[in-house]
Structure 1
């Protein structure tokens, strides 16, 4: 009998029940105390026959067994109305063991929740007594989900506290669902407590580290989030690009931009973080905050060249201008203009080109660049001041009708 498929056992029980055979009593314990077992393929083939004869089953234990199995079958098929009806029929049987009744009511409540009927789910569970007396964590969790769906968040919080008393992190699946429940009502403090419990038992589980960091950020505990990321690194947890960027950013915002830059630089070198203009711009900002000017400029140059972003080229040129590095500044502007620039950048590019030429002592070339700059909007006044200055220094020239020279708008 132990090797017989569960579905076959069910059919035998039903047949015995229909024939009134007293020997069916021996199957009661096996059937009712194992409600989670699925029908085998052979039993599934007999579902239609079982359903057709269900009304003729008189014995309570057999009716409850058949009803619960038919209910589960219809849940799998998505026939929730039929499933609810069969659960209710199974629960109407007399003499059900408390553990069986609790399982059936929890399953019925889960169907109600799936069909967005939280009030009915609570009603199904309340037949088991006051929620404070529930000792089955799974039943409690279903109760908490129903309260959450109804918007009773204080009741959910109380339920989570009760679950923390009853359950252990060793019940990993249950704890994961508790995290979802707590996070769903934005109870980030309890979410963090549950995740910390999971990490104590499963320190090698990467998801728990990063979920906890996310929750701590929601709580505004950025330093704690950084600490947990560092502990995760120490544990040998593999970091994705997103998590490396987060670690680098937290270093920077928590007062250590140098560490943030080193983390990001290493990740770029090893390919953990993809080389892109955006990522090198971040690296530039971290090095700049750390007052590592040369490293910052190198990162900015890489960002500009990878992205081709005119704004980055102009900012790069400005950084060089502030250090009076006229030759390098001139080269950066010419590189930008050679690649082609949009009309909106023509004025600024010529202005920066003129400043670099002036710094190199090439006043005639500077005059031509400033004259070009006056022909575009945005920098006319600045360019005009430079022209006045050059004329006061004896430089003569004229303003052409259109822009000429290296920094012209690219052809559309």
Structure 2
């Protein structure tokens, strides 16, 4: 999410009520008048003169540095403005309200210059003091997100949408994304459902909803979501549905991938062709669900008659010691087998018969 643009104060805060050197007071006023005329060079020169006359660590020094910072902002010199405002704040001489405003403006400048960590530190100080307006809280959320500090960002982001439910959809998307990265899939699902209430025809939200349900190991719910979207007129590309299955495979969850693929085939969201049937059987086998794998390979072998499919069935039966079934599968594989496959068939058949005799 892009960093929110917060309107910076382009003129310095009012001079503090406490007593300051009259010469410094006069210099500040003259510089302000020159800046208001657009004569930035004259304003800068007058402030530099006053700075040379100010005592180190004094309130006058802090006020002049503060004004130099805002003059740099007016001149679009962000790096220079950052330097001056840092110095002014380091004197610890500014009144609390002025210092608070300066910290918030400095944080905005730092954020715009890619210095997120320092910006966060300043905004956290203001947040702890209860002096962080809505715009700055939104900025802090985005900086936390940028720094991948999602746990800190989420409560503030939720505060944003509670205060303004009609806020731009990007805030709900941000909540979805941060919860997803923290593997809080049900929370991500909750915010996606809010987005779908706002945009029920958005296919991407439906895909994301099915995706987080799938990652939460609720494969039937994911397939049901896709079916519901389909019945509502949403059309998904075949690649989109295949990608949802691949998501589980890439996550190292072949059993969940198989469950999802099976549900998509059953609901006829994906066509049950030979390629997908073979993939389903492979996924069950990768998941070590031997019964489902054997059933899937058997169904595929019966429809295709291919020797390699029967050998897949036979391999499971061999591992499970199902000798009678193994011999039957080997015989079914034999008519379409190659010479190399027949050698395997003969070896496995001999092993099965020997095992039967020993048993």
- 170, 178, 184: which one aligns with 2:181: 184
Q: Could you tell me which residue of structure 1 aligns to residue 108 of structure 2?
A: 106
* Alignment CA distance shift 1:225-1:19 (3 Å): same
- 48, 54, 70: which one aligns with 2:77: 70
Q: Could you tell me which residue of structure 1 aligns to residue 271 of structure 2?
A: 267
* Alignment CA distance shift 1:140-1:387 (3 Å): closer
1:13-412 pair list within 5 angstroms: 20=34, 22-24=36-38, 56=45, 62-66=71-75, 69-71=76-78, 83=79, 86-89=81-84, 102=104, 105-109=107-111, 111=113, 114=116, 118=117, 121-124=120-123, 126-127=125-126, 130=129, 133-136=132-135, 138-142=138-142, 144-145=144-145, 149=149, 153=151, 155-168=152-165, 170-235=167-232, 236-239=234-237, 240=240, 241-243=242-244, 253=259, 260-263=264-267, 266-269=270-273, 277-279=278-280, 281=282, 297-300=298-301, 305=306, 308=308, 311-312=311-312, 314=314, 322=325, 330=331, 332-338=333-339, 340-341=340-341, 346=343, 349-350=345-346, 373=350, 379=351, 382-384=352-354
User: How far 1:350 moved relative to its partner?
Assistant: 0.9
Work out whether residues 189 and 219 of structure 1, in 8 Å CA contact, stay in contact via their aligned partners in 2.
Answer: yes
* Alignment CA distance shift 1:281-1:162 (3 Å): same
- Quick check: which has more Rg, 1 or 2? 1
- Alignment deviations for residues 216-272 of structure 1 (CA, whole Å, 9 cap, x no partner): 34545555434323223234141421236789x879859x96x55445794354xxx
* SS of residue matched to 1:175: helix
* SS of residue matched to 2:77: helix
Unaligned runs of 5+ in 1: 1-9, 11-16, 26-49, 72-82, 355-372, 374-378, 389-412
Size of the alignment, in residue pairs?
A: 286
- Length-normalised TM-score, structure 1: 0.49
Work out whether residues 210 and 222 of structure 2, in 8 Å CA contact, stay in contact via their aligned partners in 1.
Answer: yes
Higher relative contact order (CA 8 A, sep 6+): 2
- Alignment deviations for residues 86-119 of structure 1 (CA, whole Å, 9 cap, x no partner): 43546869999x99985662352465665xxx36
Alpha-carbon RMSD across the aligned residues, in angstroms, is 5.7
- Alignment deviations for residues 134-186 of structure 1 (CA, whole Å, 9 cap, x no partner): 3225224136448963x8x3x44432331231344651223323333333344
* Alignment CA distance shift 1:253-1:299 (3 Å): same
- Length-normalised TM-score, structure 2: 0.54
CA distance in structure 2 between the partners assigned to 1:228 and 1:187 by the alignment: 19
